[in-house]
Structure 1
Amino acid sequence: MTQKDSIYATEQAVKDFSFDQHVVEVFPDMIQRSVPGYATIVSTMGKLAGEYAQSNSNLYDLGCSLGAVTLSMRRNIRTDNCNIIAVDNSQAMVERCKLHLQGFRSEVPVTVTLGDINDLAIENASVVAMNFTLQFIPPEKRHAVLEKIYANLKPGGVLLLSEKIKGENEQCNNLLIDLHHDFKRHNGYSELEISQKRTAIENVMRPDHLSTHLARLTEIGFSQTQVWYQCFNFCSMIAIK
């Protein structure tokens, strides 16, 4: 049974957020109560993966956490000889992801790997998913990561990218933040929890403007980009090679 997220429920000396064992234990509850439309995002990423998967190719879930997107992709793949490679840099996440995936039978092979996306070799890819992952990569390294993905995508391949974003100006950004905090209050988080989580994550997760994402993807060479979901400061997009 999923444990309730109460990591920041008591006043504490707040450390930088990390995907450690404490987060692993409450992650499903945390993500559902923190990201509006998370289930819809995961489900749709799987459907898009099924649509764009090419035979004899690899599909990547970069920053796989507990494997929600990996499972969604696996359920939707109807193409021959596809392999899913799920990667995370948290040992605790990787170990729990492997256990989680064992509970679901499928003919689509999955490899779960501990690794740094910055150093990962991407090969023969038709689909690459990054579900709220790029925002945790240092800003100065993001372009290179996306260039590597683009270079190793097959023609017609896709990047499925979900990110927390900044509003295009201060007023809009504050509006999106306020709406998101109201969402978290509605889901049972206290003012203390919201404040301490924000402090913990502000030096670890540095979001970009949506315009920055779209311009960067176009600059790298993707022929088409499309936002297919947005609620408050959370959005998902597809980029087609």
Structure 2
Amino acid sequence: MQTSKDAIYSLPQQVSGFRFDDSVADVFPDMIQRSVPGYSTIVDAIGQLAGRFATEGSNIYDLGCSLGAVSLAAARYVEAKACNIIAVDNSEAMAQRCKRHVQGYKANTPIEVICDDLQNVRIERASSVVMNFTLQFIEPDQRDNIIKSIYAGLAPGGIFILSEKLRHDSTQGNELLIDLHHEFKRRNGYSELEISQKREAIENVLRAETFEAHQTRLKNAGFDEVILWFQCFNFASIVAIKN
């Protein structure tokens, strides 16, 4: 996959709210690798989990699929017969590029790409549902119903994988994690201007919650096991199991 370097915030500008438009889609692989610690590890492990829990004839949903990294990882690991991967993104720019990326990939598990709001997609016969850094961009008052709908569409024994940027429950802890994340970005070549302008752009778009808030929501939806399986700084991934 060819990718361009992320230089969206490299020049001083009037910063508007962050959007997954063409400019972001064009540089997304570079942006995500340089911005999210452990991203490649998370994506590969999600593929392994999808493969481990896949059952014959089941569906695997990648909600907020962006360019399809999770869907492609799942396709590499799923061995169960007659499975389908359904990749959903509400950004036309992301969905169109995702379709091009998956078209050339040869796998036993087909990937269907849908451009739509994930809340319009009915979850059914699911062995895995993934929201890889997606829920954080959805209005908080809509999150409970989304998780309940996912739980209802999962087959017994199915899993929900949720990756999110977390907020620590104390000011001191939160500031420490933010500082560590900003240093991570500096070491990946982002300037102070880029870090500052990106933070301003995303501040009111990405609404992070604590791990405890996510855990409570998942338990309330009915999930029996909630496991924090990955965390680096303020980025984490959770797997919830429906027994």
* Smaller-chain TM-score bracket: over 0.9
Q: Secondary structure at the match of 2:239?
A: strand
Q: CA deviation at 1:176?
A: 0.4
- Separation in 1 of the partners of 2:137 and 2:197? 18
Q: Give the match for residue 129 of structure 1.
A: 130
Residue 178 of structure 1 pairs with residue 179 of structure 2: yes
Q: Give the match for residue 138 of structure 1.
A: 139
Q: Secondary structure at the match of 1:160?
A: strand
Q: Give the match for residue 228 of structure 1.
A: 229
Q: Secondary structure at the match of 1:168?
A: coil
Gaps of 5+ in 2: none
Q: Over residues 106-126 of structure 1, what are the superposed CA-to-partner deviations in whole Å (9 max), with x where a residue is unaligned?
A: 121111000101222111111
Q: Give the match for residue 111 of structure 1.
A: 112
Q: CA deviation at 1:222?
A: 0.2
Q: Which amino acid in the other structure matches residue 153 of structure 1?
A: L
Q: Give the match for residue 237 of structure 1.
A: 238
- Separation in 2 of the partners of 1:155 and 1:118? 21
- Separation in 1 of the partners of 2:138 and 2:121? 13
Q: How does 1:155-194 map to 2 (within 5 A)?
A: 155-194=156-195
- Separation in 2 of the partners of 1:6 and 1:87? 27
Task: Name the count of aligned residue pairs.
Answer: 241
- Separation in 2 of the partners of 1:20 and 1:201? 14
Task: Calculate the TM-score normalised by the size of structure 2.
Answer: 0.98
Q: Give the match for residue 7 of structure 1.
A: 8
- Separation in 2 of the partners of 1:103 and 1:96? 12
Q: CA deviation at 1:215?
A: 1.1
Q: Secondary structure at the match of 2:166?
A: strand
Q: Which amino acid in the other structure matches residue 96 of structure 2?
A: E
Q: What's the RMSD between the two structures over aligned residues?
A: 0.6
- Separation in 2 of the partners of 1:34 and 1:161? 18
Q: Which amino acid in the other structure matches residue 95 of structure 2?
A: V
Q: CA deviation at 1:53?
A: 0.8
Residue 85 of structure 1 pairs with residue 86 of structure 2: yes
Q: Over residues 64-105 of structure 1, what are the superposed CA-to-partner deviations in whole Å (9 max), with x where a residue is unaligned?
A: 000000000000001011000000000010100011112211
Q: Over residues 14-58 of structure 1, what are the superposed CA-to-partner deviations in whole Å (9 max), with x where a residue is unaligned?
A: 010000000011000000000001000000000000001111111
Q: Give the match for residue 50 of structure 2.
A: 49
Give the ranges of 4+ consecutive aligned residues of structure 1 lying more than 3 Å apart after TM superposition.
none
